[in-house]
Chains A and B, each alone.
Chain A
Amino acid sequence: MSGAQYVAAIDPARDVFRLPRWRWRRPNLLLIVCVVIGLWLVLVPLAGLLLTAFTEDTGLGFGAFTFDNFVEAYSSERMLPLIGNSLIYASGTAIVTFAIGGAIAWVVERTDAPGSTLFHNLALISFAIPGLLLAMAWIFVLSPNIGWVNAALKSAFGLRAAPFNIYSMAGMIWTLSSHYFPLAYLILGPALRALDVRMEEAGVVSGARYRQVLPKITLPLLRPAILSGLLLLFIMGLSSYEVPRVIGLPARIDVFTTAIQNATVETPPEFGVASALSLTLLGVCLVAVYFYRRATRNAEAFATITGKGYMPTRIALGRWRWPVSIGIVGVFLIALGVPLFTLAWQSFFSNLSQPFMNSPPSATLANYAYILRYPIFLDAVRTSVLVSAMAATFAVALTLVMAWIARRSASRLAWLLDALASAPIAIPSVIIGASILFTYLVIPIGVYDTIWILFIAYATLALPYGMRFASNGIAQIHRELEEAAEISGALPGQVLWRVVLPLLLPFLLAAWIYTFVLSVRELGASIFLIGPGTNVLATISLTMWEEGGSYGAVAALGILQIAPLLLIVAGLRYLETRVHRRTRGGSAMARSTG
């Protein structure tokens, strides 16, 4: 979501090799502080995880060294299906999201189909929807018993059995894909945009038709982007917890994330087994990350990004323009519109009510009244908002300093900052939650069962995103803008405060809101870390769903979360486009007269 940037400050001809080095002593101290915080957040829980995995479960701290946890985990007859399910689920989601997202990216970036701004905004805004609530909504749509689409099809075609079953592997893949396809679009779009059309044109000029150019030139050029995108989506599928929990669990389709969580709630809790499973999952993720890095490593060889003044010519779809656009609107409507509509519909009725089916009982606001007066809900809102805001603020501030030092410091430690801050992207939130739990059960600093343990988890999970925003932003600030301040007599702190920070403000705002929303949605780690007084929105939603709250109340609870989140993200998007337009206009003028 990095739209806003000061175009005037961007120099396409930046000297790449001349990385600035600053020679002051203080950043070394700052650097060490950042490294220590990063190490603490990332490595301490992983160390706890390792210790738990390789020691006996004593219930109280770590016992003697042992392999028993692994033996126990791997000897279970559920292990093989577990691995199979996880891989099928993750690769299925990667492929489906990729196909949908790729098609949208191609239409938006490469063709003249109308509505590309709308699609882009929809994709950005849709990430505000918590996956847990979307999964619940899909159950209202496609469950064999209560799903209204099934009911409607049954009555329309006189079917005996429900045509769709959400409680299946396909159902799980579809549900997660409906959530992640905008992400796939956002990952692929920039690659398609950066592709130099002149390469395609060179193909056309040498006599190829577009349908030959696509497989012969376009796709090979995009290979690194395609591979890395697929791997990223695969990792995200492996890490996903919400869908396996609300759909996979009743369907008895176990994946790693749910198995890990299950082990910790056994009586007695099997922390050792949970850790052994976590390490296995982490291993798979790391292998995927390794291939991801390999796919992106040679990206420069495919350097397709050209400087200024290049205007991609779009493929004219002719009379297919509108049908293609309407098709994409249809995708958004089916994947996100239908479940959200269903959830909203249900929230106005106490008992199960299927839209478009027989006459509904009269609508009521009773569900909302109930939720808004429900003390646990109010507490959860307070906790969620407070902890998420704290974590977002902390993570954005920390990664800003980290990214700045990583770029400006000559120290050999600088790369470590980037590596540390990016590491959590490869660690599923369930593992972060579990390892933080194991660690702070043992480390007696009194965070267990308080909001601070949630804060630690959210801050850790937010690091990679904060780092991306901050370093993208800093990369766009021409080095001379900082040097000019230094020459003018500004101290490093003043350079950061008066030049870097204001220029980065749009990026930081976006980073803050992104990480804030991410934390409010968070379930996989929270579920390990909540205590009696520290419920968060995601966990109470899950509890209410699983412990049989009325359909209406659950739906109202969902809408009460989705609506504000959507508003926040849409508001940010609006602000961003405005800032963007303003600075664009300014620099365009500077350029035309200069």
Chain B
Amino acid sequence: MFAIENLHKSFLAAGAEVRAVDGISLEVETGKLITLLGPSGCGKTTTLRCLAGLERPQTGRIVIGNRTVFDSAKRVFVAASDRGIGMVFQSYAIWPHMSVFENVAFPLRVSRAKKYSAAEIRERVSRMLDLVQLTGFAWRPATQLSGGQQQRLAFARGLVHEPAILLLDEPLSNLDAKLREQMRLELKRLQRSLGITTVYVTHDQSEALALSDEIAVFDSGRIVQRGAPQDIYRQPNSRFVADFVGSANFLPGTVRGTQGNLTRVDTAHGLMHCIFAEPIDAGMRALVIARPEDILLFDGAAVGAPTDGLNALNGKIVNRVFLGEVVDYIVDLGDRELRARLRSDEFQIGQAVTLGLPPQKCVGLPG
């Protein structure tokens, strides 16, 4: 378990102050995997490095386990080497002058909390290498590993001293797409079986959705939303989150009133029913958000299309993008375009269509 309270870290870059981390608070339970997700330069790496002790924040407090490792008020700063953490760097940082075995053994050799005998070291290292499926590679020079193998080696090194938390900074970004997917599964399996609290930094939203127990979405040094992957995806609390996590269509309008759990919003394309997380008063400006895969398409020529209970919009297909399993249709509504994602490829460019948006899947935001 660890907790971060009101962390601030700014840099001086070319004379100007850059607030890389601007008041972040976060607490994560033991055994959970949390992902820090956000666009480039939003402060994810800096947060991670503050947690690791590689960067010294200006203000805030960091507690790991039940030990305060940083507290600006009490002037506490525990060095990175004493925080008992494991970390996998984006570059892997495999020491090229050591064998695979020595790379993994290093944290045990320099350990001060507990002295390890040679036999213990051998035992633990080979157990780690088995775990990451590098059995038999122990005496290879570390430089003679493939990218995926280096990544697993870095993982073994980060875990061998049984750290309280594991920090991963875009550990998969150097791998090609196929390998990335495979390593993602493997990583999840390892993390689960070891039950280790893990912080995972990425700007790849599909990686975040697939891996995390919890996601914290970052924007300009702040956390804008935290929650389980489904919640983040289904209930984005801002246009930024909706846009960054998955893709989304936006329709602005004015609130007309609420009935049950559905709220009516008047848009330029007609009345739409949607769900608001917080009650909202009539007359307020609002934004209706719909995910492309929730949108249904009907041939516009077929009169009396089965749009009962759906929000219905009329438009014309202006483009289609074949993606393999699915097809994306770009539908022109007159003043804007919507994206609909369907399995079917029966619709053609130029065809007039009716779009059906299930109200339960339309999210309303004040705006």
Within 8 Å by CB of A480, from B56, B82, B91, B107, lies B91
| B93 and A590 form a contact (CB under 8 A) | no
Rounded to whole Å, the gap between the CB of B264 and the closest CB of chain A is 50
Residues of A within 8 A of B52 (CB): 483, 487
Q: Beyond A17-B13, A491-B110, is A586–B141 a contact (Cβ under 8 Å)?
A: yes
Residues of A within 8 A of B93 (CB): 478, 480-481, 483-484
Chain A positions within 8 Å of B157 at CB level: 484, 488
- Asked whether, in the complex, the Cβ of B89 is within 8 Å of the Cβ of A590, the reply is no
Instruction: Kindly specify which of B73-81, B195-203, B251-259, B308-316 makes contact with the partner chain.
Output: B73-81
Give the residue of B81, B89, B98 whose beta carbon is less than 8 angstroms from that of A489: B81
A586→B91 contact, CB < 8 A? no
Q: Which residues of B contact A594 (CB under 8 A)?
A: 145-148, 150, 174-175
Contacts of B95 in A (CB 8 A): 481, 484-485, 499, 503
Q: CA–CA, A593 to B144, complex, Å?
A: 9
Q: Which of A482-507 contact B (CB under 8 A)?
A: 483-491, 494, 498-499, 502-503, 505
Which residue from chain A places its CB closest to the CB of B163 in the assembled complex?
A: A487
B91 contact set on A, CB distance < 8 A: 11, 478, 480
The complex places the Cα of A23 from the Cα of B83 at a distance, in Å, of 14
Q: Report the bound CA distance from A494 to B107 in whole Å.
A: 11
How many chain B residues touch A (CB < 8 A): the figure is 44
B141 touches A483 (CB 8 A): no
Contact A488 B77 (CB under 8 A): no
Knowing A490-B81, A590-B145 touch, does A6 contact B107 (C-beta < 8 A)?
Answer: no
Q: Are B96 and A9 in contact (CB under 8 A)?
A: yes
- Chain B positions within 8 Å of A478 at CB level: 91, 93
Contacting pair A484 B89 (CB below 8 A):
yes
Q: Does A157 contact B (CB under 8 A)?
A: no
**Any chain B CB within 8 A of the CB of A156?**
no
B190 at the interface (CB under 8 A from A): no
Residue of B nearest to A494 (CB): B110
Is the Cβ of B97 less than 8 Å from the Cβ of A502?
yes
Flag if B87 contacts A484 (CB, 8 Å).
yes
- B106, A483: Cβ atoms under 8 Å? no
Residues of B contacting A121 in the complex (Cβ-Cβ under 8 angstroms): none
- Tell me the complex Cα distance, A224–B97, Å: 36
Q: How far is the CA of A486 from the CA of B78 in the complex (A)?
A: 12
The reply to whether A590 and B106 contact each other, CB–CB distance below 8 Å, is no
Q: Which of A93-131 contact B (CB under 8 A)?
A: none
Is the CB–CB distance between B80 and A593 below 8 Å? no
Distance of A503 Cα from B110 Cα, bound (Å) = 18
Are B146 and A498 within 8 A (Cβ)? no
- Contacts of B145 on A, CB cut-off 8 Å? 590, 593-594
* B112 interfacial by beta-carbon distance below 8 Å: yes
Cβ-defined partner of B107 (8 Å) among A21, A488, A586, A593: A488
A-contact bits for B330-345, CB 8 A (1 contact / 0 none): 0000000000000000
Contact A587 B96 (CB under 8 A): yes
A-B pairs under 8 A by CB, number: 108
How far is B278's CA from A542's CA once the two chains are assembled, in angstroms? 94
- Interface of A, secondary structure class, is helix
Q: Judging by beta carbons under 8 Å apart, are A489 and B110 in contact?
A: yes
Q: A587 to chain B: which residues have CB within 8 Å? A: 96, 143
Q: Given contacts A6-B96, A6-B97, is CB(A480)–CB(B112) below 8 Å?
A: no
A593–B146 alpha-carbon span in the complex (Å): 5
Contact A589 B144 (CB under 8 A): yes
Give the docked Cα–Cα distance between A489 and B97 (Å): 19
Is A24 positioned at the interface, with any CB of B under 8 Å from its CB?
Answer: yes
A583 in the interface (beta carbon within 8 A): yes
Contact A490 B106 (CB under 8 A): yes
CB nearest neighbor in B for A9: B96
The residues in B between 85 and 103 inclusive whose CB is less than 8 angstroms from any CB of A are 85-87, 89-91, 93-98
Q: Which residue of B lies closest to A17 (CB)?
A: B13
Determine whether A251 belongs to the interface, using a CB cutoff of 8 Å to chain B.
no
- Give Cα A380–Cα B327 distance, bound, in whole angstroms: 86
Interfacial residues of chain A within 325-382, with CB under 8 A of chain B in the complex:
none
Residues of B within 8 A of A386 (CB): none
A483 and B80 form a contact (CB under 8 A): yes
Say yes or no for A8: interface residue by CB 8 A criterion. yes
B111 within 8 A of A: yes
Q: When chains A and B are docked, how far (Å) is the Cα of A336 from the Cα of B158?
A: 55
A489 touching B96 in the complex, CB below 8 Å, given contacts A11-B91, A586-B144, A593-B146: no
Contacting residues, chain A, for B84 (C-beta < 8 A):
489
Q: Mark A1-42, 1 if CB is under 8 A from B, else 0.
A: 000001011010000010011011000000000000000000
Q: List 11 A-B contacts (CB under 8 A).
A: A8-B96, A23-B77, A484-B95, A487-B85, A491-B81, A587-B143, A589-B144, A590-B150, A594-B145, A594-B146, A594-B150
Interfacial residues, chain B to chain A (CB-CB below 8 A): 13, 52-54, 56, 77, 79-87, 89-91, 93-98, 106-107, 110-113, 141, 143-148, 150, 154, 157-158, 161, 174-175
Going nearest first, the 10 A-B pairs with the smallest beta carbon separation are A594-B147, A586-B143, A593-B146, A488-B107, A480-B93, A484-B93, A480-B89, A490-B110, A6-B96, A502-B97
